[in-house]
Structure 1
Amino acid sequence: MAARATPHVTPRPLRDLQPAPPRPVLLHPSAVAAASPPPPTGTCFFDLPAEIRIQIYTLILENVIIHITPTARPSSPHATATINNSEDKGSSSSNDASMQHHPHALLLTSRQIRLETQPLMQSLCPIKAAVTDFDFSGLLTWLARIPSAQQSQLTKNTRLCVQLCTTSKVPGDLPTLRRWLHDRADKCRPVMKWNYSGARPSNKVGSDLRRRLKRMKEAGKRGELERMLIAIRVSVPRLGESGEEGEEEDEL
């Protein structure tokens, strides 16, 4: 049987490729392109050396005073810290209209500036804490908010002041004073150079404070309370002078 012949197929010619259409020209830029900022050019603040940035912060904080005020309710766990930017360092801080009841502008600028500024504020700026009737709750709350790693900056500050204000009322139980004296006598804590000042209390309040000091046996707590009484001009009993025999240590 003879093989069938394969028919001849003529190849189909390929069409020429059409040129690509021209790219449309935008008459107006898109909203995204218009809103995007231009690429940064030159240097920024953080390109400056750290030494220059510290000098700038120091000049800004030259007239800043940090005030730690007690709350309206002594039992409240919150304390108020205010910042005074007054150029007159001798003006009264309590009635100064320039006092700011909010964080300093440097602390709100950026995270890096806040981290660079906080140690300088804690080590350079005057810090004044108002304490009424030996209620240290406001100051203790403010110190508790500072991380332990940053509390060492306060040891470099030589302008720490506690302003003691007393009324005619004889203070009763003083748990915050006990805690303050305990923390100050603790040798494992950073030693901060707190100074005391205040007006002389009434004779009734002064006698009560001397009685508490007589009954105090621990040397560290007694020495700190003596510094307070001397600052408010209350006569301090001599060491070894006590009240009744067999009297135990007063827990304030």
Structure 2
Amino acid sequence: MSHSKTDAAYNAVPTLDGSNYSWWAQTMELYLLSKSMWQIVDGKITKPASDGDSKNAWIEKSDAAKGLILLKIREDFRGDHMQSDAPKIWTDLKAKYGETSDSQIFSWFCEWYKFSIPGSQSPQKEFAHWDLLVSKMANASVKIPEKILAMQLVATMPPAYANIVPLMVADINKKELTVEKVKSYMLTEWERKQKPGKKALANRISAVQRKGNAPLFHQQQKASQPTASSSKQRADQPQQQQQQKKEK
């Protein structure tokens, strides 16, 4: 894994503020797994009793994990954990912040319940936020059945997606509707709607360019072609000059 990708993964870990423990713990665990430190933090690999290379290696990894964890918790939370090793810090944080309050769960539920999808832009961003809310509630032991989740997405669809409603109603009747199917239908419909618009815009631009270039072209052509009067004037010039010489 490159340094830039590692930084991006670590930047994705939120800062623990006391109210977001479930999401923080999940993303921090994934990051520690990617750095081969999770088994030490989780206590599966314990600190060797005897001195030696194995013990030194354990301490080195524990210290690295400790730094990563403490950098991602609120600054005023760090004081109580500076003297502890990584496994102890993880256990203490879980004991203190791991129990999500009912008020927090209710807040997530209300946000999920009022969820809406815009008809004027791609739904991908909204889907990501919706997934996050569902994940937070699931981590707090509030698991909503797949069928309800899928039907909620259908119910929040704006009129712009009316064309795909029959597909989803058919899946509901066949008991085959899933969250992933609803998302796929909507993303496909959104992409389909964008293609004609882009083509029409390209055609309009092309038409404007053709109209804009035509007058200039004709003007240049007209300027470069001699007129009948100018040709006659050039033909008469030698005769006029000869007449002037005779008169002299």
TM range (shorter): under 0.3
Bigger proportion of residues as helix: 2
TM-score, normalising length: structure 1: 0.22
